[in-house]
Amino acid sequence: MKRRLTGILVVLLTMGLSLPALAASLQVEPKRLALGQPALVRVCLQGSPQKVRAVFKGRISALAQGKDGCWYGAVGADLQDKQGKAVLRVKADGKQVAAAKLTIFRRDRGIRRLKVNPKYLKLSPEALARYKKDRAAVKKVIKSFTPENYWQEAFILPLNSKVVSLFGRRSFVNGVERSPHGGVDLRGATGTPVPAAADGVVALVRDTYFAGNMVLLDHGRGVITRYLHLSQALVKPGQKVKKGEIIGKVGATGRVTGPHLDFGVRLAGARVDPQEWIALSKKLNARLGE
């Protein structure tokens, strides 16, 4: 197949992997993934499989058939994945039909330094118990998998404002290094309406210790968006929302230094750069004809 995406055409036999009967070709863009970067997957198959999945670093993404008859989807490297070589596998109706070796590397995304109330560094027993419950509730949503697709158009940034803190920056809180920033911080005054980045279903609404008022939206195919530090949530779990529909208001709840929106994207559980995901969602939308 001569035409290819920017990236690589993986011919399985050159990798020493056996070529399954259904496999034709697998393309991945890009083949070198920075931690927190999403990649576009295209696989053209013989036959008529009912279910096609991409498995990368133990995380599952659903692929959908595009206008050209090939199958499209996305995978991502989490911020804290191990660097080096990793294998992307594609399964059709439960059987492996293609595989590709990708390289994961660390990109220097800079540093941010925050000064917050000391209570967020040394937790009281009550705060610790609350945090553990918050984490379990969020983890349950992230580990869930909805193969259906809810979004029909490319994603958008919830606020048309300045990004004041980039995704993936190493975070030092009161001088102590914490987990890297898993989203992008968007400037906004308290009370500014926050729209949904795409069509989806409300998966979680919760007042959390660190993230404040939080909304998680499930968009299907393993894509989940998060909206943190809200002054108010305006939706309920199970509610269907449309792209651009107001789901909450900007606030300064939880561990913050001022009002803003922390917007994040999970791709099959992996934390990926929201701005890169938005760009990739446009490519997916064009190829799927949705």
Residue by residue, pLDDT tens for the chain (290 residues) are 334 433 333 333 334 344 444 556 899 999 999 999 999 999 999 888 999 999 999 999 999 999 899 999 999 999 989 999 999 999 999 999 999 999 999 988 878 777 878 787 788 999 999 999 999 999 999 998 888 889 989 999 999 999 988 898 887 877 777 778 889 999 999 999 999 999 999 999 999 999 999 999 999 989 999 999 999 999 999 999 999 999 999 999 998 888 999 999 999 999 999 999 999 999 999 998 75
Q: Are residues 115 and 45 in the same domain?
A: no
Q: Are residues 126 and 266 in the same domain?
A: yes
Collapsing DSSP to helix, strand or coil, 197 comes out as: coil
The closest alpha carbon to 267, from 15, 95, 67, 78, belongs to 78
Q: Are residues 211 and 245 in the same domain?
A: yes
The Cα-based distances of 18 to 22, 60, 91, 100, 183 in angstroms read 12, 22, 14, 12, 39
**Residue at which a domain ends, from 38, 72, 105:** 105
Q: Are residues 123 and 101 in the same domain?
A: no
pLDDT of residue 169: 82
Q: Are residues 163 and 55 in the same domain?
A: no
Q: Are residues 97 and 51 in the same domain?
A: yes
Residue 252: phi, psi to the nearest 5?
-140, 45
d(CA 141, CA 226): 11
Q: Are residues 169 and 277 in the same domain?
A: yes
| Alpha-helix runs per DSSP H in 230-273 | none
The closest alpha carbon to 61, from 41, 35, 80, 47, belongs to 41
172 in a domain, yes or no? yes
pLDDT of residue 262: 96
Q: Are residues 118 and 93 in the same domain?
A: no
Q: Are residues 60 and 162 in the same domain?
A: no
pLDDT of residue 290: 59
pLDDT of residue 89: 95
pLDDT of residue 24: 66
2 in a domain, yes or no? no
**Residue at which a domain ends, from 73, 105, 137:** 105
Domain containing 55 equals: 8-105
pLDDT of residue 16: 39
Q: Are residues 240 and 183 in the same domain?
A: yes
Count the domains in the chain.
2
Q: Are residues 229 and 128 in the same domain?
A: yes
Would you state the structure tokens that stand for residue 109, as one six-digit string? Answer: 């995304």
87 in a domain, yes or no? yes
